[in-house]
Amino acid sequence: MGRDDPDLGSPLAMPRLFCDLTQSWSDVGGGVRTYLLHKRRHILDNTPHRHLLIIPGERDEVVEEGRAITVTIKSPHVPLSPHYRLLLRNSAVQAALDRFRPDLIECQDAYNLPWAAVAHRKRHPETALVAAYMTDFPTVYVERPVSKFLGKVVGGAAARLCYRYCGALYRRFDTVFALSENGGGTKLRALGVGNVEVVGLGVELGEFGPTRRDERLRHSLGLTESQPLLIYVGRLDIEKRPDVVVDAFRKLPAELGARLVLLGEGPLREEISQLADSRISMPGYVKSRTDLSRWLASADIYVSAMADETFGVSIVEAQASGLPVVGVASGAMIDRVGEHVGLLGPVGDSDAMAGNILKIWRSDRRQLSEAAMAEAKQYSWARSMESLFGTVYPTALSGRVGHKAAPSAFSSFLRPAAELPPA
């Protein structure tokens, strides 16, 4: 939507204040941060609207720069994740919302902050509420860790309770959007959440491509053209499961001469380092997009064992670089990786992953590369913002008038388990 050509019938025809309220903010990167910065740029460059960003940080601070407002609320670090902070001060959030009175509030996580938005709407019923399902937390942060320590029965029960909580929360929002069908859309609808849209994230496709391949980089790893370089990009933690990637790599035939690069930081780095496998390189977190594109283009196969991707930015960036993908048949990977661009196997099965790596390496990788690049072209930030401002936000703003109160959280928890998706 351009400033010079407004749709006078749209709820976005007049200047609005859009607010993003999130716990998931990191100063060094991350999918939510990237999304929010692109949204702010879109608002400032292409619309007459204003943008309010409420995030955790080192100190309390309000910065107003024209139509861009950033409210930072002092918050402690998340244990074991030093780049993230716990924004628990809902009273400070409420004060910021009352001060600026946004027309629409979007929340990117499902913990305490959405309830601050719900409370604000009670005081100001004209406020529209939008939720983005960025992380499948009942499975990632509840079922998997609980199952590891207390068993699958307890883990499954805990996850089902959390999914009920998600339903109780998101039914209070005017519009909810997932990043893919299998990464959230289907589950949200099964929970009885109405007005569920799918809005894919974007990728700066111009930053990636096979032309960025660097033979000197490959040579520094001791590779020849006949040896495959596998690459993984992401946090080295239990959620992303790089340990499964490492196990699969170490099961490949020694005569293949493969190498593995893990780009990222996290608590599993030390565990992987203790393997003392000289074929595995861990350069750390790569801040430069130029360096990231060079690493991806210089590899041959992208490998990921993350079972609960809600979108899969790194997958699309790898595809834009011309890489086939070996992954797992779960979450957003099902939406992103068809047999024409890679292979998917069972979750947590390193033997199957090793077999799929060999199949991809021995297949027509030029054809796979061309198909992967074609697949990536559909994910642009322009398309993402068009969906957001063309569908999601107008729907939420139109639906806020005469908004009916949602059932109480307690009564929502009592819904029959049969209505819920499997954990």
CB neighbour burial string for 134-150, b if at least 16 within 10 angstroms, e if fewer: bbbbbbbbbbbebbeee
Going from the first residue of the chain to its last (423 residues), give the mean pLDDT of each consecutive group of 10, the final group possibly shorter.
51 94 87 92 97 97 97 92 90 97 96 96 96 91 87 93 95 95 92 93 89 94 93 90 97 96 93 95 90 96 94 93 96 93 96 98 95 92 94 91 45 42 40
Q: Is residue 217 part of a domain?
A: yes
From CA 114, how far away is CA 112, in angstroms rounded? 6
Report pLDDT for 208. Answer: 94
**Burial of 264 (C-beta count, 10 Å sphere; 0-12/13-18/19+):** buried
CA distance between the termini of the chain? 39
Strands (E), 208-281: 229-233, 259-263, 280-281
Report pLDDT for 292. Answer: 95
Residue with tokens 């959620």: 239
CB neighbour burial string for 293-312, b if at least 16 within 10 angstroms, e if fewer: bbbbbbbbbbbbbbbbbbbb
Q: What is the secondary structure of 270-281 as a DSSP string?
A: HHHHTT--TTEE
Report pLDDT for 9. Answer: 59
Report pLDDT for 287. Answer: 83
**Helix ranges (DSSP H) in 76-181:** 90-100, 113-123, 137, 144-150, 152-170
Last residue in a domain, options 376, 396, 411 = 376
Q: Is residue 245 part of a domain?
A: yes
Same domain, 360 and 252: yes
This prediction has a pTM of 0.82
Same domain, 316 and 385: no
Same domain, 367 and 348: yes
* Continuous segment of H or E residues that includes residue 365: helix 365-376
Q: Is residue 8 part of a domain?
A: no
Q: Is residue 263 part of a domain?
A: yes
Domain count along the chain: 2
Same domain, 86 and 227: no
Same domain, 173 and 45: yes
Give the Å distances, CA to CA, from 178 to 101, 131, 206.
Answer: 26, 9, 25
Q: Which of 303, 326, 298 is nearest to 209 (CA)?
A: 298
Please tell me the total number of residues recorded for the chain in this structure.
423
Same domain, 186 and 233: no
Q: Is residue 11 part of a domain?
A: no
Same domain, 130 and 278: no
Report pLDDT for 13. Answer: 85
Same domain, 195 and 209: no
Report pLDDT for 407. Answer: 45
Q: Tokens for 245?
A: 């990637």
Q: Which domain holds residue 301?
A: 205-376
Same domain, 282 and 148: no
Same domain, 364 and 333: yes
Q: Is residue 60 part of a domain?
A: yes
Q: Which of 104, 275, 290 is nearest to 208 (CA)?
A: 290
The Cα angle at residue 417 between residues 415 and 418, in degrees rounded to 5: 110
Same domain, 229 and 333: yes
Q: Is residue 229 part of a domain?
A: yes
Q: Is residue 279 part of a domain?
A: yes
CATH of the domain at 322: 3.40.50.2000
Same domain, 129 and 170: yes
* Continuous segment of H or E residues that includes residue 328: strand 325-328
Relative to beta strand 342-345, strand 175-178 is unpaired
Relative to beta strand 128-133, strand 104-107 is parallel
